């Protein structure tokens, strides 16, 4: 495998231009800038106007993600987002970047034209970026499950768990989430923690999630889950837990925290403090974005009911847990883990198939969602306290 080396030593598996809007008022202009250049430019952004430390950090992490070679910022001009600090963070990494301000640069049409030119300049500048050897141990891989049903926990999720075990053994950093869908599994996760102190952090994170949802009066259990054969949050949690495999849990991180070394990490996506931001897992894409902000090169997405989404900046590998859904949506799926149910394939066999695809995607092979042009992206308001020393590997 080969990757694009960045100034911080991390290596990317893609070399994209990120076009980032800094308020919803600039979203349309940024989207039009990307519309004709989707192969080389991806759209990301924050819709809010008032400042938020979480969003600022997320945008800084995403604009300096190893898969990003250069950046175009699109500002309306009067929003409270600190575009100057974001620009300085990007410049400090040596990435080419330009800032467009709609109120300054002549409005919609003029800014779109300027944006097309900016993307073209940056794409040309990074086109010949040198590639260097990339080892499995240098990868950061995330996993989510969405549209879960009764097959998710017996085929797709366990197969990802086996893949994760092999990745961790090879020295990669693997991230699984989320504490709101692991309620009931805190004890077995704590038993796998590298230290007693980390075990307590894991229990506290799940307790926080349970309290958050109790306050909202709505848990992470959708009508589609019930229609797909799941009966309780505990049953759904056990299926989601299977994605983590059997490796020791090395640490607990929050969105934007980059794993300091290889190992298995649990991501806590539930905001800290009092409940004030609404549902913490508003969609699977929001969680993919949070793992990308923590450096994930790609995401393994397990679905039972069927999900057709992908993501901007980092590839999504779609793993079908339900064999019947795979037949209906096979154009969107990369792996048919449902073979475990209908064809007698082993969990180990499908886990190796996923691992092989991870290596190929890291080497440049495009996933189905990439081929179909899926570049979904969601970033909302949240608030987090810094993780403590007990959350990181010893």
Do 122 and 190 have their domain in common? no
Answer with the one of 132, 158, 191 that is the final residue of a domain: 132
Q: Which tokens belong to 236?
A: 């759904």
Domain that holds residue 14: 2-132
The 3 state secondary structure assigned to 320-343 is ECCHHHHHHCHHHCCEECCHHHHC
Q: Give the CATH number for residue 120.
A: 3.40.50.2300
Do 49 and 171 have their domain in common? no
Distance CA 243, CA 311 (A): 20
Answer with the one of 107, 132, 157 that is the final residue of a domain: 132
Do 22 and 170 have their domain in common? no
Distance CA 339, CA 379 (A): 35
Rounded to two decimals, what is the model's pTM? 0.95
Q: Which tokens belong to 208?
A: 């926080």
Do 39 and 127 have their domain in common? yes
Do 46 and 190 have their domain in common? no
Distance CA 244, CA 355 (A): 14
Phi-psi region of 193 (alpha: psi -120 to 50; beta: other; left: phi over 0): beta
Question: Which residues of the chain fall below pLDDT 50?
Answer: none
Task: Quote the pLDDT of residue 233.
Answer: 63
Task: Quote the pLDDT of residue 232.
Answer: 64
Task: Quote the pLDDT of residue 280.
Answer: 83
Task: Quote the pLDDT of residue 229.
Answer: 60
Report how many domains make up the chain: 2
Q: Which tokens belong to 192?
A: 């796998």
Do 306 and 378 have their domain in common? yes
Q: Which tokens belong to 115?
A: 């944006």
**Residue 188 and residue 241 in contact, taking contact as beta carbons nearer than 8 Å:** yes
Do 250 and 163 have their domain in common? yes
Answer with the one of 108, 132, 156 that is the final residue of a domain: 132
Task: Quote the pLDDT of residue 279.
Answer: 84
Do 186 and 303 have their domain in common? yes
Whole-number average pLDDT of the chain = 94
Long-range contacts of 195-199 (CB under 8 A, 24+ apart): 195/390, 195/394, 197/390, 198/249, 198/251, 198/252, 198/390, 198/391
DSSP 217: T
**Residue 297 and residue 318 in contact, taking contact as beta carbons nearer than 8 Å:** no
Task: Quote the pLDDT of residue 282.
Answer: 77
Do 164 and 297 have their domain in common? yes
Do 112 and 169 have their domain in common? no
Do 115 and 229 have their domain in common? no
Q: Which residues pair with 45 in a beta bridge?
A: 21
């Amino acid at each position: 495998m080969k990757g694009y080396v960045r100034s911080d030593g991390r290596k990317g598996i893609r070399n994209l231009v990120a076009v980032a809007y800094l308020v919803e008022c600039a979203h349309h202009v940024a989207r039009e800038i990307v519309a004709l250049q989707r192969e080389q430019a991806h759209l990301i952004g924050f819709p809010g106007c008032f400042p938020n430390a979480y969003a600022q950090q997320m945008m800084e992490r995403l604009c300096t993600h190893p898969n990003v070679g250069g950046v175009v910022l699109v500002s309306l001009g009067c929003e409270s987002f600190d575009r100057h600090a974001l620009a300085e963070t990007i410049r400090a990494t040596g990435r080419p970047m330009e800032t467009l301000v709609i109120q300054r640069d002549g409005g919609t049409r003029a800014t779109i034209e300027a944006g097309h030119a900016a993307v073209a300049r940056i794409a040309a500048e990074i086109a010949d970026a040198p590639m260097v050897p990339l080892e499995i141990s240098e990868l950061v891989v995330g996993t989510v499950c969405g549209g879960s049903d009764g097959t998710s926990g017996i085929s797709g999720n366990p197969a990802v768990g086996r893949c994760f075990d092999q990745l961790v053994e090879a020295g990669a950093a693997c991230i699984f989430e989320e504490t709101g869908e692991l309620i009931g599994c805190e004890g077995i996760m704590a038993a796998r923690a590298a230290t007693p102190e980390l075990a307590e952090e894991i229990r506290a994170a799940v307790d926080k999630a349970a309290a958050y949802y109790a306050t909202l009066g709505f848990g992470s259990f959708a009508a589609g889950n019930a229609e797909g054969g799941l009966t309780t949050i505990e049953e759904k949690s056990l299926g989601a837990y299977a994605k983590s495999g059997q490796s020791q849990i090395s640490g607990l991180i929050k969105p934007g925290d980059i794993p300091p070394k290889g190992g298995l990490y649990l991501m806590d996506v539930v905001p800290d403090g009092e409940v004030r931001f609404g549902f913490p897992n508003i969609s699977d894409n929001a969680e993919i974005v949070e793992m990308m902000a923590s450096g994930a090169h790609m995401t393994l997405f397990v679905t039972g009911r069927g999900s057709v989404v992908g993501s901007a900046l980092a590839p999504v590998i779609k793993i079908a847990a339900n064999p019947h859904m795979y037949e209906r949506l096979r154009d969107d799926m990369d792996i048919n883990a449902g073979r475990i149910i209908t064809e007698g394939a082993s969990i180990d066999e499908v886990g190796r198939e996923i691992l092989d695809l991870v290596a190929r995607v890291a080497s440049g092979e495009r996933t189905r969602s990439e081929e179909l042009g899926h570049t979904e992206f969601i970033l909302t308001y949240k608030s987090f306290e810094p993780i403590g020393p007990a959350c990181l590997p010893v």
